[in-house]
Amino acid sequence: MSSLGVTLQTGAGDVNPAYLGVFVVYLLGVLAIGAWAYLRTDDVSDYWVYGKELGPTLATWSYVANFVSAVSVIGFVGSVYGGGYSIVTGIVFGLMLGISGLYFVVHKVRELNHITFPDIIAELTGREVARPITGCVLLANAWIYLIMQLVGAGLLVTTITGVPYQYMIWVIGGVFILYTVMGGLVSVAWTDLAQGTLMVATVAVALAYMVFDLGGLTSLNQQFMALDPANVAPLGDGAYTLLGVAASIVAFFGTIFTSQSTVVRINATDSIRTAKFHLAAAGFILSVFYVMLVMLGAGTTVALNGAGLAVENVDRAFPVLIMDYVPTTIGTIIIVAIMSGILSTTDTRLHACGVTAAHDLYDYFVDGEADDDRLLLVSRVSTVGFGVVATAAAVNPPGTIISLYNWRAILLTSALLIPVYVALYYRNTSGKAVLASIVLGAVCGPGWNALGEPFGAPAAFVGVGMAVLGLVVGRYAWQDTAVVSSGAAPSDD
């Protein structure tokens, strides 16, 4: 992906011992959980899917923590700072629709009884080659996600501790690689439980402080509107159009079901009932959380403008609030919330990279002849490799957090949303047509975005449109190769 021309301010000031101390203790805590999880990881099933024993509480909070990331905490607050409440219309609504839609197809995912998303595509299409094709799309998505998580963490910690960005990125990257590679999903799930609980509680405390400090919720909204009436307009200051909002909702809706980490978690639960419960419960918790987060973004905007602390890079708005506005005690609480959100999502995506590389690529190319020990080794080596490469890229990132998030949303939605849902519900669709649809969407959606969306056509619509075209043309070109039952044996054609 080409650079988006983002200038990242990586300078550091004086080292802040209080914040640095909190950060170090936090990292040591998650490493301790990783070491404990390593002792509980006996085989590749434990590493990949927790031995399929993930219960309701652990699954729910792990999903909440996985869902909330640097985008949610730093990126969303920055987006509200730069564009007001329109982020609810353009992004949050689509994300919540995604969880709601997933609830109604989760039983189909469990009935297929596969570990990963490419496994599902291989059965739906009847072609094993779908595994590496889909796997490559998912790895590209995960790699971008890793970069933006690291950028968010690096910006935050550099701002609040005074440690230079280029050093802090490698410290953070090294820690999350280490504890993820030690215990796999066991490490990820238990650190997510701790981090998800801390994250929701601390954001609530931070919001309560900001509301009180700014004179109450009504006063906060009035001050926010006084800065710019467009701040409270559903479409902002014109940056969003109805067409753009619709495209954004489609894009973010499409990222939920097509996420490798989501499918891995569904299959790691101990029953269909648990799988459904954890999505419903997590959806409720996340809806409340995002309302609090958007309001916190409004409070950040009002507070920084009132104190004369305007920032050029919107991703720095929240870190500046912590460093230059709130008391150290409240700042420490916010740090815990943000780091919990960032690392809990980062470890999930990194774990998914290891599973995808071993199960969907390596195992395919060795024709399923690798034993469990070899697959576990490949998973761990891949986890380290992807983590190191993502960390190196985060030193000089190719875009802002929100721009990276938009790019991967377009990729996933364009490549997978339409062909996957069609294949799930219309089993007489040609397997070759489904694969052609995936390839066309994966190329055209992100490609159109890279060209700057010519003629004002949203990249998500172009990508989805080309995916539909691939299905329609393929349906007539390969009518005799349809997969008509879930028991059809995948081939390599």
Bridge partner residues of 54 (DSSP): 269
Give the residues across from 241 on adjacent strands. Answer: none
pLDDT tens-digit readout, 172-190: 888 888 888 888 888 878 8
485 or 127: which leads in pLDDT: 127
Alpha-carbon distances of 167 from 138, 157, 158, 434, 485, rounded to whole Å: 29, 11, 9, 45, 54
226's CB contacts (< 8 A; 6+ apart) are none
What is the reported pLDDT for 226?
93
Q: Identify the three-state secondary structure at position 490.
A: coil
297 CA to centre of own chain: 20
- Alpha helices by DSSP H, listed for 269-316, are 272-306
The strand pairing partners of 33, in sequence order, are none
For residue 13, name the pLDDT band (cuts at 50, 70, 90).
low
Q: Where are the domains of the chain?
A: 24-413
Minimum mean pLDDT among 5-9, 110-114, 161-165, 213-217: which range? Answer: 5-9
Query: Higher-confidence residue: 319 or 3?
Result: 319
Cα–Cα distances (Å) from 289 to 167, 239, 293, in that order, read 32, 25, 6
Most confident of 211-225, 243-257, 402-416: 211-225
- pLDDT score at 442: 92
Tokens of residue 463, six digits: 């990508």
Centroid of chain to Cα 238: 27
Residues in the chain, total: 493
Let me know: does 54 contact 269? Beta carbons within 8 Å. yes
Amino acid identity at 261 = S
- pLDDT confidence of residue 197: 83
List pLDDT tens digits, range 341-388.
677 777 778 888 888 899 899 999 988 788 888 888 999 999 999 999
pLDDT tens, 226-280?
Answer: 998 888 888 777 666 777 777 777 766 667 766 777 777 888 888 889 989 988 9
From 473, 406, 410, select the one nearest 436 (Cα to Cα).
473
pLDDT at res. 492: 52
For 110-114, 137-141, 226-230, 247-251, which range has the lowest pLDDT when averaged over its residues? 247-251
117/108 Cα distance (integer angstroms): 12
CATH superfamily of 24-413: Sodium/glucose cotransporter (1.20.1730.10)
**Two structure tokens written together for 430:** 């040609």
Hey, CA dihedral for 264, 269, 275, 278, is it positive or negative?
Answer: negative
CB of 118 within 8 A of CB of 275? no
Say which residue, 124 or 468, is predicted with more confidence: 468
Predicted pLDDT at 264: 77
Please tell me the distance from the alpha carbon of residue 136 to that of residue 139, in angstroms, as a whole number. 5
User: Can you give the pLDDT at residue 487?
Assistant: 47
Q: How confident is the model at residue 479 (pLDDT cuts 50, 70, 90)?
A: low
More confident residue, 477 or 479: 477
On the 0-12 / 13-18 / 19+ scale of CB atoms within 10 A, 453 is middle
Three-class SS state of 482: strand
d(CA 367, CA 358): 12
∠ Cα 184 188 191 (to 5°): 140
The residue type found at 136 is C
pLDDT of residue 211: 92
Which band of pLDDT confidence, cut at 50, 70 and 90, is reported for residue 490?
A: low
Helix (H) or strand (E) holding 461: helix 459-477
Q: What is the mean pLDDT of residues 15-42?
A: 80
Average pLDDT value over all residues in the chain = 81
Question: Can you tell me the mean pLDDT for 200-220?
Answer: 89
Query: In the prediction, which pLDDT does 61 show?
Result: 86
Taking 70 as the threshold, does the pLDDT of residue 480 lie above it? no
Q: Is the dihedral of CA 379, 384, 389, 394 positive or negative?
A: positive
Structure tokens at 202: 């601390």
Neighbouring C-beta atoms of residue 370, cutoff 10 Å = 18
pLDDT at 43: 79
Instruction: Look up residue 45 and give its two tokens.
Output: 């099933």
Q: Is the pTM of this model over 0.75?
A: no
More confident of the two residues 461 and 51: 461
